[in-house]
Structure 1
């Protein structure tokens, strides 16, 4: 776990906040006016709130930007006696939102932040104001969601590696050293802008995984896919009807090698047939790193227009 006051050479200058709503110390950023519209940013594997640092700066003058680190990621605690499946992360985010009593939420979701955020939306649709998917699957009861995940895995180097490593019994040992191989893991998943690689950048993403005991969440997310332990939240008819009526937008790095647009954008379009989709040219899976200016502009415009 990273020290609470660590700023990584000033690149993450936001005050740390913590809650123990789910029985572990969960870190979050809470920037902007208290009475501003809430923008809740949910990260995925193996990142943390650092991924949203440019968006926080861009929006916090006018919006309340809340960015939690999932259990076992970033500055949050990694308890040894917990499981790290998708349903656990949904439970944690639900407790977090209720503890802070967040309403009128604009969800900004990346990677497994997508199914986590959609799980929250299934349980509390009336707390959601807008949906923004950025290279994050919007699984929401679609019958073919699992089929699309399987089809994507056949062409994704990251998911192919997970299945191979699990089959060979080395998944835990390799990801247990994530602090040392973080750059190769990020590159396998895919970002394209190598100019952003600095000592501070590498330290920020490696620091949460200093020891094998710190890597349980990263291992859990990968192992949950390999063993089919993750469970998508199933919305009821009221939740589906409510969420379908919300303003929504998808942004997708078109060079994403981990979550291919052809497999996952149809999930979004099925749920939000009239919603805009913006492909980000040359941006990889970590599109917040590759195209921060374009993402900031598109999200700011979307917030103004809706």
Structure 2
């Protein structure tokens, strides 16, 4: 957990807010409150709200922008007594949204942000105005999964089989750069001491890495599947598929197969816009931030 006042040499100049209604201290940014339209951005593994720093600056000029840090990431606490699962992250989001009394939300989600906003929307259809997805997958279609694991999940499986996964993901204070390169980003010019400190600081010891250790295992072992099935069974899919959606994909992603993710999205939303970023990786917000920001502005303005 990062200190509340830490701004990483003014690269993160946003006021820290905290919500304790989920029985842990959850950090969130809430900028542009004077604006009516609400954009809520969700990060994934192993990042935090810092990945949206350019987005907050630009989008808050015209929109209210809320960016929470998931439990176990960023400036949020990493409680030992909580279950780190898709279900828990969705429930945490529901309680935060209710606390802030947010309505008609335009969600932006990358990596785990996609499944989290997807499940939230299935359970709260009337509260989602639009879904803008970045290098993520909902997985609600019948699209065939790739036969081979992606490089990221091959690495996860190999190290879990060898008994070294918790050691490597439990040392993110020193391994964060190499882990993010396995997932892949292409813009190496962004790396400096502030950048490394920002992404490494949430993980000073192994106990602080619980969230990062559990996310990939949720996928590898299919632990999130029963929760997703439950959400789908209880949802009005017709209404869900009528919610505007758009996908942006960094095609050099090594975590989620780009073709699979795009095909899954098209199966759900055949008429929705898909933008391929040929030279971006899994962390497209770092590789092509301003292009994505313009696409988000266009998406929100049109819907």
SS of 1:93's equivalent?
helix
Shift of 1:236: 4.2
Distance 2:218 2:241 in 1: 28
Which residue, out of 190, 206, 210, partners 1:212? 206
Specify the alignment match of 2:173 in structure 1: 179
Distance 2:113 2:194 in 1: 24
SS of 2:103's equivalent?
coil
Shift of 1:97: 1.2
Specify the alignment match of 2:39 in structure 1: 39
Specify the alignment match of 1:195 in structure 2: 189
Q: Is the 8 A contact 1:166 1:226 kept in 2?
A: no
Specify the alignment match of 1:259 in structure 2: 256
Q: Deviations over 1:248-281 (max 9, x none)?
A: 1110011112112211112211221110000112
> Normalising by the residue count of structure 1, what TM-score does the alignment of the two structures yield?
0.94
Deviating beyond 4 angstroms after TM superposition, the runs of 4 or more aligned structure 1 residues are: none
SS of 1:297's equivalent?
helix
* Pair 225,205 (structure 1): closer, same or farther in 2 beyond 3 Å: same
Q: Is the 8 A contact 1:251 1:277 kept in 2?
A: yes
Q: Is the 8 A contact 1:106 1:131 kept in 2?
A: yes
Once the two structures are overlaid, the 10-residue window that deviates more, 285-294 or 89-98, is 89-98
Distance 1:249 1:66 in 2: 19
Q: Is the 8 A contact 1:17 1:30 kept in 2?
A: yes
Matches within 5 A, 1:144-163: 144=143, 148=145, 151=146, 154-163=148-157
Specify the alignment match of 1:278 in structure 2: 275
Which residue, out of 214, 222, 232, partners 1:235? 232
* Pair 238,71 (structure 1): closer, same or farther in 2 beyond 3 Å: closer
Q: Deviations over 1:35-85 (max 9, x none)?
A: 421101011000000011111111101111000000000000000111211
Q: Mind listing any 5+ residue stretches in structure 2 that lack a counterpart?
A: none
2:29 counterpart of 1:29: yes
2:107 counterpart of 1:126: no
Shift of 1:100: 1.4
Shift of 1:305: 2.0
Specify the alignment match of 1:60 in structure 2: 60
SS of 1:208's equivalent?
coil
> Normalising by the residue count of structure 2, what TM-score does the alignment of the two structures yield?
0.95
Once the two structures are overlaid, the 10-residue window that deviates more, 235-244 or 180-189, is 235-244
Once the two structures are overlaid, the 10-residue window that deviates more, 265-274 or 229-238, is 229-238
Q: Mind listing any 5+ residue stretches in structure 1 that lack a counterpart?
A: none
Specify the alignment match of 1:221 in structure 2: 215
Shift of 1:224: 2.2
2:292 counterpart of 1:298: no
2:85 counterpart of 1:85: yes
SS of 2:153's equivalent?
helix
Shift of 1:223: 2.4
Distance 2:273 2:219 in 1: 29
Q: Is the 8 A contact 1:122 1:236 kept in 2?
A: no
How many equivalent residue pairs?
300
Q: Deviations over 1:126-160 (max 9, x none)?
A: 000011001011234x345xx52xx27x2421110
Q: Deviations over 1:215-262 (max 9, x none)?
A: 010011122233332235232475311121122111001111211221
